[in-house]
Amino acid sequence: MNQLTMAKHKIYKAFLLLGFFLLTSFPIAGQENFYERLADSTLVLTKQKVQYDPSYFRIPYPNGDVPENKGVCTDVVIRAYRKLGIDLQKEVHEDMKANFAKYPKIWGMKTTDTNIDHRRVPNLMTFFSRQGTVKPKSTEIKDYAPGDIVCWDLGKGIRHIGIVVNKKSADKQRYLIVHNIGGGQVMEDCLFRFMVIGHYRYKKD
């Protein structure tokens, strides 16, 4: 093998190694980019004026939504994911239909209901624990990142849900949350205001 051929061979090997490095070292980058986009799509929702309304609505399926000026905490999550092309109404329904026994029976349901199933926090918690990544329910700030979904216990059996966004608290210590706890789709410093009972990341494969 002459020197020119050897040099070409070394360059070829170098490119192979570089390609391997890129493939094995950066799959997380694409995932992180998704969660950054999810956090951004959640922030956009704060510009939408929404009245808190827990009423039962009959909505289309799939891609159904309650009136755009109404909603509850779960609708924040649903709308944020829909901006990225993921329809939680459909995803929850399909998983719940195939695994109905694994979902809560709090409401005495005998079958699925595409109008409301995805709009109930316990159902979303079950779905995310089955189809997503379960993260620590900790009080450590470092465990929470933009794009995370957090669920809380408000007491008296009331569950709440919101999304972590890429904005920090006034003291720069905590990421803020976009949620709807009664005052519309707002961003607040409330990560540890209530007891955390669920912490997830979800990206459709």
Domains of the chain from N-terminus onward: 30-201 (3.90.1720)
Q: What is the per-residue pLDDT for 32?
A: 77
pLDDT 10s digits, 7-66 = 444 544 444 343 433 333 334 446 679 999 999 999 999 999 999 999 999 999 999 999
pTM: 0.85
At 75 the pLDDT is 98
CB 177 within 8 Å of CB 150: yes
Residue 92 and residue 121 in contact, taking contact as beta carbons nearer than 8 Å: no
Q: Distance between CA atoms of 74 and 71, rounded to whole angstroms?
A: 8
Contact predicate 42/165, CB 8 Å: yes
Q: What separation in angstroms does the CA of 188 have from each of 36, 63, 176?
A: 18, 28, 6
